[in-house]
Structure 1
Amino acid sequence: MRNQIEAARNIGLRPVTIHSENRDEWEAAQAALIRNECDILLISPERLANAEFLRGVLPRFQNSIGLFIVDEAHCISDWGHDFRPDYRRIVRVLERLPSSVPVVCTTATANNRVVQDVVAQMRNLQVQRGPLIRASLKLFNIKLSDQSERLAWLAHFVPKLPGSGIIYCLTISDTRRVAAWLQQNGIAAREYHSDVEREDKLESEHMLLANECKALVATVALGMGFDKPDLGFVIHFQRPGSVIAYYQQVGRAGRAVDEAYGILLSGREDDEIQDYFIRSAFPPAERMLQVLRELERGAGASINELMGRLNCRRGVIEKALKLLEVDGAVTRDKKVYVRTPNAWTPDLLRSEQVTANRRTELDEIKRYVDHSGCLMEFLARALDDPEPARCGKCMNCTGRTKRQSAPADLARSAIEFLRGDTVSIEPRKQWPSATLNQIQQAMPEAIALSKEGKAKTTIPDHLRLEEGRALCIYGDAGWGRVVAEGKYKARHFSDLLVRAAARMIRDRWQLQPVPEWITCVPSKRNPLLVGDFAHRLAQQLNIPFRPAIEKIRETEPQKRMENSAQQVRNLLEAFSIERDILTAPVILVDDVIDSGWTLTMVGALLRINGSGPVFPFALAKATPGDS
Structure 2
Amino acid sequence: MRLVMGSQIDGQKQVLDESQNSNLSPQLPEAERERAQVVLHALAGPGARLRADQERAVAALLLPAARVLVVQATGWGKSAVYWVATALRRAQGAGPTLVVSPLLALMRDQVAAAQRAGLRAVTVNSGNVEQWSAIEEALRADEVDVLLVSPERLANPGFGRRVLQHLAGRLGLLVVDEAHAVSDWGHDFRPDYRRVADVLRDLNPQTPVLATTATANARVTADVAAQLGQTLVLRGPLSRASLSLAVVEPMAPLDRYAWVAEHLPRLPGSGIIYMLTVADTARLVEAIRAVHGDELPVAAYSGQLPVDEREALEDALRANRLKALVATSALGMGYDKPDLGFVVHVGSPPSPVAYYQQVGRAGRAIDHAAVAVLPSGADAGVWDYYATSTLPDEGQCRRLLEALAGQEQPQSVVVLEAQTGLRRGRVELLLKQLAVERVVSRETDGWVATGVQWTYDAAHYEGILAGRRREAAIMTDYLAGRSCLMELLALALDDPDAGPCGRCSVCTGGLPQGWTQRPGAATVATVGAVLRGQHTVLEPRRMWPGGRSGLRGRIAAGEAAQEGRVLVHADAPEWLQVRQGALTRDAPPPAELLDAAVNALVAWRGQWPQRPEVVVDLAAAGLSQVAAGVADHCATVGRLERASWPAPEGAAGVEADRELAGPDQVARWLEVLAPPQRLVEVVAGRTVLLVVDATVSGWPVTIAARALRRAGAGDILPLLVHRRV
Give, as a single letter, the amino acid of the residue that structure 2 aligns with 1:365. M
Alignment of 1:127-276 (within 5 A): 127-184=233-290, 185-186=292-293, 187-276=296-385
Corresponding residue to 1:405 among 518, 521, 545: 518
The answer on 1:338 being equivalent to 2:444 is no
The answer on 1:468 being equivalent to 2:564 is yes
The answer on 1:322 being equivalent to 2:427 is no
For 2:541 and 2:621, the matched residues in 1 are separated by: 25
Q: Is the 8 A contact 1:307 1:566 kept in 2?
A: no
Alignment of 1:41-52 (within 5 A): 41-52=147-158
Give, as a single letter, the amino acid of the residue that structure 2 aligns with 1:79. W
TM-score (norm 2): 0.79
Corresponding residue to 2:212 among 106, 112, 120: 106
Which residue in 1 is equivalent to 2:670?
572
Deviation digits for residues 588-620 of structure 1, max 9, x if unmatched? 111112111101111111112221211111221
Q: CA deviation at 1:66?
A: 2.8
Corresponding residue to 1:592 among 694, 697, 700: 694
- CA gap of 1:272–1:373, structure 2 versus 1, over 3 A, is closer
For 1:82 and 1:126, the matched residues in 2 are separated by: 23
Q: CA deviation at 1:549?
A: 6.2
Which residue in 1 is equivalent to 2:706?
604
Which residue in 1 is equivalent to 2:86?
none
- CA gap of 1:23–1:404, structure 2 versus 1, over 3 A, is same
For 2:466 and 2:592, the matched residues in 1 are separated by: 43
* Structure 1 unaligned spans of 5+: 440-455
TM-score (norm 1): 0.91
Q: CA deviation at 1:35?
A: 1.8
Alignment of 1:194-593 (within 5 A): 194-299=303-408, 300-401=410-511, 403-435=516-548, 438-439=550-551, 457-489=553-585, 491-506=587-602, 510=606, 512=608, 513-522=610-619, 530-548=627-645, 551=648, 556-560=653-657, 561-577=659-675, 578=677, 579-582=680-683, 583-593=685-695
Deviation digits for residues 539-586 of structure 1, max 9, x if unmatched? 343322112567377684223153221211111242223241233221
For 2:621 and 2:311, the matched residues in 1 are separated by: 50
For 1:240 and 1:554, the matched residues in 2 are separated by: 35
Q: Is the 8 A contact 1:517 1:585 kept in 2?
A: yes
Deviation digits for residues 227-246 of structure 1, max 9, x if unmatched? 11111111111100100000
Which residue in 1 is equivalent to 2:28?
none
Q: Is the 8 A contact 1:499 1:540 kept in 2?
A: no
- CA gap of 1:166–1:432, structure 2 versus 1, over 3 A, is same
Q: Secondary structure at the residue paired with 2:426?
A: helix
- Structure 1 window deviating more from structure 2 (46-55 vs 148-157): it is 46-55
For 2:201 and 2:582, the matched residues in 1 are separated by: 60
Give, as a single letter, the amino acid of the residue that structure 2 aligns with 1:248. Q
Q: Is the 8 A contact 2:281 2:326 kept in 1?
A: yes
For 1:555 and 1:196, the matched residues in 2 are separated by: 34
Which residue in 2 is equivalent to 1:450?
none
RMSD: 2.3
For 1:522 and 1:382, the matched residues in 2 are separated by: 48
Give, as a single letter, the amino acid of the residue that structure 1 aligns with 2:493. L
Give, as a single letter, the amino acid of the residue that structure 2 aligns with 1:312. L
For 1:45 and 1:106, the matched residues in 2 are separated by: 15
- CA gap of 1:93–1:388, structure 2 versus 1, over 3 A, is same
Q: CA deviation at 1:396?
A: 2.2
- Structure 1 window deviating more from structure 2 (98-107 vs 251-260): it is 98-107
Q: Is the 8 A contact 1:480 1:620 kept in 2?
A: no
Q: CA deviation at 1:462?
A: 2.9
Which residue in 1 is equivalent to 2:19?
none
Deviation digits for residues 324-356 of structure 1, max 9, x if unmatched? 122211122234211122111111111122122
- CA gap of 1:548–1:511, structure 2 versus 1, over 3 A, is farther
Give, as a single letter, the amino acid of the residue that structure 2 aligns with 1:368. Y
Q: CA deviation at 1:509?
A: 5.3
Q: CA deviation at 1:370?
A: 1.0
Q: Is the 8 A contact 1:555 1:574 kept in 2?
A: no
- CA gap of 1:287–1:224, structure 2 versus 1, over 3 A, is same
For 1:298 and 1:274, the matched residues in 2 are separated by: 38
For 1:137 and 1:595, the matched residues in 2 are separated by: 42
Q: Equivalent pairs: percent with the same residue?
A: 37
The answer on 1:60 being equivalent to 2:166 is yes
Q: CA deviation at 1:385?
A: 0.7
Q: Secondary structure at the residue paired with 1:342?
A: coil
Q: Is the 8 A contact 2:548 2:663 kept in 1?
A: yes
For 1:552 and 1:170, the matched residues in 2 are separated by: 36
Q: Is the 8 A contact 1:283 1:316 kept in 2?
A: no
Which residue in 2 is equivalent to 1:444?
none
Alignment: residue pair count: 606
Deviation digits for residues 126-154 of structure 1, max 9, x if unmatched? 11111112111111111343221111111
Q: CA deviation at 1:199?
A: 1.4
- CA gap of 1:549–1:613, structure 2 versus 1, over 3 A, is farther
Give, as a single letter, the amino acid of the residue that structure 2 aligns with 1:558. E
* Structure 2 unaligned spans of 5+: 1-106
Q: Secondary structure at the residue paired with 1:427?
A: coil
For 1:488 and 1:195, the matched residues in 2 are separated by: 30
Which residue in 1 is equivalent to 2:109?
3
Q: Is the 8 A contact 1:475 1:484 kept in 2?
A: no
Give, as a single letter, the amino acid of the residue that structure 1 aligns with 2:528. I
For 1:412 and 1:495, the matched residues in 2 are separated by: 16
Give, as a single letter, the amino acid of the residue that structure 1 aligns with 2:301. Y
Give, as a single letter, the amino acid of the residue that structure 1 aligns with 2:483. G
For 1:555 and 1:410, the matched residues in 2 are separated by: 38
For 2:440 and 2:400, the matched residues in 1 are separated by: 10
Give, as a single letter, the amino acid of the residue that structure 2 aligns with 1:566. D
- Structure 1 window deviating more from structure 2 (552-561 vs 360-369): it is 552-561
Give, as a single letter, the amino acid of the residue that structure 1 aligns with 2:428. E
For 1:547 and 1:74, the matched residues in 2 are separated by: 55
For 2:369 and 2:652, the matched residues in 1 are separated by: 55
Give, as a single letter, the amino acid of the residue that structure 1 aligns with 2:713. S
Deviation digits for residues 438-476 of structure 1, max 9, x if unmatched? 24xxxxxxxxxxxxxxxx611122322111112112443
Q: Is the 8 A contact 1:518 1:538 kept in 2?
A: yes
Q: Is the 8 A contact 1:473 1:480 kept in 2?
A: no
Q: CA deviation at 1:495?
A: 4.8
